Amino acid sequence: MLALLWLTAPLFAAVSHDKPPGLVENPGTDLWREVRRRAPELQALQQAGKRGPVRTQVQGVDTTRLINARGEQWRLYRHRWLIPGSLWLLGGVAALVVLLYLAVALRLPPPRESGRRLLRFETYERTLHWFMAALFLFLGLTGLLLLWGRPLLIPLLGKPAFSAIASASKEGHNLMGPVFLVSLLLFFARFWRRNLYQRGDFAWLARLGGLLGRGPLRVGFFNLGEKVLFWLVVLVGLAISLAGLVLLFPNFGQGRVVMEAAHLVHTLGAVLLLAVVLGHIYMAKAVKGTLEGMTGGYVEYNWAREHHGAWAADTEAAGRVLSVEEVESRRGQRSLVKEGGT
Amino acid sequence: MARMKFYCDAERCIECNGCVTACKNENEVPWGVNRRRVVTIKDGEHGERSLSVACMHCSDAPCATVCPVDCFYTTDDGVVLHDKDICIGCGYCFYACPFGAPQFPEDGAFATRGKMDKCTFCAGGPLPDGSAEEYRKYGANRLAEGKLPLCAEMCATKALLAGDADVVSEIYRKRVILRGASVLDWGVSYQKATLRAPRGLSGKSSLKP
């Protein structure tokens, strides 16, 4: 992370230091310019000695650090890259997804009714998925509010109203963040086995999941796209969570440079994952019959044969294909047709 | 229009921490918060120097630009202040500030960060001047009483200067001329002095014959 900050440093070097006309220059300017110039040398000395040649009576984080030049790089990263970049990326992906949905997915037919159903996700798995999804969306929305609020919402709401929302967002984000990590770990424990590489995954990739070529593809419980999504969510989600903990608990004595790097990882990961999840929501809505697996738990037999042929064959061989009546009796009185018909 | 600035003369600061104590006492800052600190480099070695550091009231303050709720403002005197009723305690100003001025009391989720607190140049906050609420949230408003920040007023060696940038610059300029070398020659300024000590200062300056 630090290396990334270092590498991006030249990008920010072109900042103008011209002073506005009519302003008196602070007499300390020369002094602090000199302090800044000598900061790396001082830090090296500090790291070499055990007690360090830099001392202060005031106890606290970074109190012996006279200047933190890295703060400006972090500020420019947030303002030049992160805020406009995330607006363009997430806005672009959202627009693309809506456009694709209206242009293509809306016309796709639902799977042919066979009167038979397969249990795809158990109650625990569905609960876990929606628990994590709700936390993710909440954290994403509250995070974006803090990121975009000043340019987008303050002009509309005014500072006091936005401050109330932002304060609630910050507290909610901080309280729910660690819970998301718990849900992520439980999710990983439940699903990792089904997301390992299987024969046929690369054939699926080569044919872009069946968009190209003809004939059946060998797809197990999850296809490669879903597996990539899983590992992205788990690994990037873990990075976001750990970086978030670094930001959330400043009371372990980590310095500002560490927190700036953690913020970089946290935000880059979050924007990436939000874009990926927008794609995930699109796929769940676009491929008809998919969402039922995560809402009611059961999927149409023909859907399973078409999209997860190997899994459907295994389930059928094990004799676990149910009729609509059996599914209904398992669920009590609720009508499957109503639930599955959306 | 005045433009208020601090300047700490590293050639004069003796690391007595009087400014830190004065600040804590005058502003009744929350526990764990230090608006000002004295940093000593090369402690106990040749060339030891100390600097008293607090908010520098930057003309183009980075804290103000990163604040997600836009709670900072600059007064007519050039003092950078913030509104604690708007601040949400996110910590971004602390990341952006080069001097480490923003401080956070223990509050909020997991009691890690409350609303930010920093040096106000003893100019209070956005609440009515001299009100009890202003004192409780931001500390003293000495500027409204026509006084300068107490840290500088209390400085025994007059190392810490506070006031209009023009005046502070002028005082410092005179000192530099008297010393015969600028602070850029840290550690050697007295030895390299080309000017003799003025007659009136003989015996009082630290110049060795």
**SS3 label, residue B142:** coil
Angle between helices A224-248 and A256-286 (to 10 degrees): 150
First to last CA, chain A: 45
Listed as ranges, residues in chain B with pLDDT below 50 are 181-189, 192-198, 200-209
Question: Which of A300-314, A323-337, B192-206 shows the lowest mean pLDDT across its residues?
Answer: B192-206
Tokens of B52: 């008293």
First to last CA, chain B: 44
Do B165 and A26 make contact, defined as CB atoms within 8 angstroms?
Answer: yes
Measured CA to CA in angstroms, residue A170 lies from A139, A160, A240 at distances of 10, 15, 16
Q: Which residue of B has its CA nearest to A64?
A: B39
Q: Hey, where are the domains in chain B?
A: 4-158, 166-201
A27 band by pLDDT with thresholds 50, 70 and 90? low
- ipTM confidence: 0.82
Neighbours of A285 (CB within 10 A): 14
Band of the pLDDT at A244, cuts 50, 70, 90?
A: very high
For residue A303, what are the CA distances in angstroms to A290, A299, A335, B22? 8, 7, 20, 75
Q: Does A42 contact B41 at a Cβ distance shorter than 8 Å?
A: yes
So what CATH class is B4-158?
A: alpha beta
Alpha-carbon distance A156 to A69, whole Å?
34
Residue A233 to chain B, least CA–CA distance (Å): 25
CA–CA distance, B72 with A133 (Å, rounded to integer): 36
Q: Cβ–Cβ of A146/B20 closer than 8 Å?
A: no
Here the tokens at position A262 are 């953690």
Cβ neighbours of residue B24 under 8 Å, at least 6 residues apart? B34, B35
Of residues B54, B41, B43, the one with CA closest to residue B152: B54
CA distance B162 to B22: 14
Q: Which of B41, B68, B110 sits opposite A150 (nearest CB)?
A: B68
Over the stretch A126-159, which tens digit does the pLDDT of each residue have? 999 999 999 999 999 999 999 999 999 999 999 9
